[in-house]
Structure 1
Amino acid sequence: MEPVVVVGWWTVPTHGLFVGLGVAVAAVVFVAEARRRGAPAEQSLVAVAGALVGGAIGMRLSGWAEHLDPDLNPSLLEAWMFGSRSVLGGLTGAYAGVLVAKRLIGYRERTGDLFAPAVALGMAVGRIGCHLTEAPGRPTGLPWGVHAPATTPGCPGCLAGQAMHPSFLYEIAFHLAAFAALWWLRSRITRPGELFTLYVAAYAAFRFLVEFTRANETVWLDLTRPQWFLVPGLLLVAARLGYGYRRGFYDPLVRKKEMRA
């Protein structure tokens, strides 16, 4: 566990450092893709600003409605100051922030396809900080299980010296693969918004499954809070993928697969 990184005279929190690097990497990819697609610069910057503001709000307030019993939840101020910093909350807030920002300036073009590869690569970098500072996952007997220091917060398995799933490494691998796939698909899936739809669907399904290896608390039917948060989203993206498939949005992929078969 490496809670801080020392760079010269500076002592920087490890998690914050990699989150910042992830945002910087995502910004570079976003700008490159916006230029390639000829997206208007001012409108794109407004969308990015909306994503950053909405993401910060969503991440900080994600723990506000953590319990069904309102008395167990923190106040808005407490959630803002000491919230759980949920990635899912941040992504939801970022999406809402982009929608609000675009509505304010009257920009109606879809920008999700610009964000998809940028978010994927940025998430891969940011999750390095999680791997270095947070509890890895649930105990496992698999050969690639990892050990973390007993001082790792919220990690009973660390105290017991158990090998655990490297759940954040799983997520880093997923996002790197997603970035590569999205980069390859960006000139093949031409329907506006569909690249973003594919990424959201893939990440929602992956995150639901990887939660079974995470150290998060289960709340009902052996599912964690992130999994219950994802259940309605998975139903929506499944319906959205079916809609796109029936209308031929993904034909370039389907036809290539059929030709290879």
Structure 2
Amino acid sequence: MLSLIFMPYEPILFGIKINIHLVLEYLAFFVGFQYYLYLRKRTTDTISTNNRLSIIIGAIFGALFFSRLMAFLENPPLHYSQGILSFLNNKTIMGGLFGGLLGVELVKKVIGEKQSSGDLFTLPIILGIVIGRLGCFLAGTKEFTFGKETTFFLGMDLGDGLSRHPIALYEIVFLLGLFFLIRQLQKSALPLKNGSYFKIFMIGYFTFRFMIEFLKPNTYFLLGLSSIQYLCLLCLLYYYKSIGEAINYARKKLYLL
């Protein structure tokens, strides 16, 4: 077991204990948005500025609501007993992503925007999640992003004296790999439809999260699955056409080999 005696990491500055998770969460939003602005200046955006702003607003409101709804559904009896403040304070990135997706699609229907809008957000979102997950890791067992007890060689003491799967670190490694994969696809001569990079991210990330949930010490299940896993399945169902196209494409490539 790797021993990290400083977990959770709570630095003290001028006599004040710093909530490093909260600091990195705000930093994730700031860096992600700045990276989005950087990419937008260097690409030809087929969506007008007004429509893009409307899409961002739709994403924000959809993410705010669903991030809290899914956090509540992770353990409804517990959160219900804690009252409305529990609903407002708890949130999950999975609900935020899917809620943002629904918010965007609703706004696009209202304003009549036909162009896919996700590609420009893809890499900034991944970068933001990586920074946020670093904060989750440093928070140790104070944030519900730690794993079950394990004898696996990567097990870590996250603050409670037990060897646990460092789920946040697993996620960071996966997301960095996904980030560089999408970057390479963008640079390659392989023609992809507009919106494909965002779909690759969503399908890849939600598939990964479905699997990694089995390593978390969840306590509330419905038919053996957590609420996050049901959300993952719902998202994959949403993209079933794209998944089917990818499978058929892979089959054709294997047949040619």
Structure 1 residue 125 corresponds to structure 2 residue 124: no
TM-score when normalising by structure 2: 0.78
Question: Cα offset for 1:147?
Answer: 0.2
Residue identity opposite 1:47 in structure 2:
I
Partner of 1:51: 59
Encode CA deviations 1:28-56: one digit per residue, 9 max, x unaligned: 23223323331133433332233223222
Provide the secondary structure at the position in 2 that maps to 1:219.
Answer: coil
Shift in CA distance, 58/7, structure 1 to aligned 2, threshold 3 Å: farther
1:166 to partner: Cα distance: 0.6
Contact 1:64 1:75 (C-alpha < 8 Å) held by counterparts: no
Matched, 1:94 2:107: no
Q: Distance in 2 between matches of 1:93 and 1:74?
A: 25
Q: What's the TM-score once normalised by structure 1's chain length?
A: 0.77
2:157 alignment partner AA: H
State the distance in 1 between where 2:162 and 2:126 align. 31
- Specify which structure has the bigger relative contact order, considering alpha-carbon pairs within 8 angstroms and separated by 6 or more residues: 2
- What residue identity is the alignment partner of 2:213? E
Task: Answer whether contact 1:63 1:79 (CA < 8 A) is retained.
Answer: no
* Change beyond 3 A, Cα 1:55–1:11: farther
Distance 2:62 2:15 in 1: 33
Unpaired stretches in structure 2, ≥5 consecutive residues? 1-6
Partners in 2 of 1:243 and 1:48 — Cα distance? Answer: 28
Q: CA 1:201–1:106 in 2, change beyond 3 Å: closer, same or farther?
A: same
Structure 1: gaps (5+ residues): 150-157
1:219 and 2:221 correspond:
yes
Aligned counterpart, 1:155: none
**Maintained 8 Å contact 1:66/1:73:** no
Separation (CA, whole Å) in 1 of partners of 2:98 and 2:14: 36
Distance in 1, Cα, partners of 2:17 & 2:49: 35
Separation in structure 1 between the aligned mates of residue 40 and residue 25 of structure 2, nearest angstrom: 22
Q: 2:167 matched to which residue of 1?
A: 167
Does residue 146 of the first structure (1) align with residue 156 of the second (2)? Answer: yes
Deviation, structure 1 residue 59: 1.6
Root-mean-square deviation (Å): 3.3
Q: Which residue of 1 aligns with 2:183?
A: 183
Paired letter, 1:99: E
The aligned residue for residue 34 of structure 1 is 40
| Deviation readout 1:93-150 (Å, 9 max, x if unpaired) | 221222234344443321111111111111111111111114321111111210022x
2:147 to 137, 145, 150: 137
Q: CA 1:97 to 1:206, structure 2 compared with 1: closer, same or farther past 3 Å? A: same
Letter in structure 2 aligned against 1:168: A
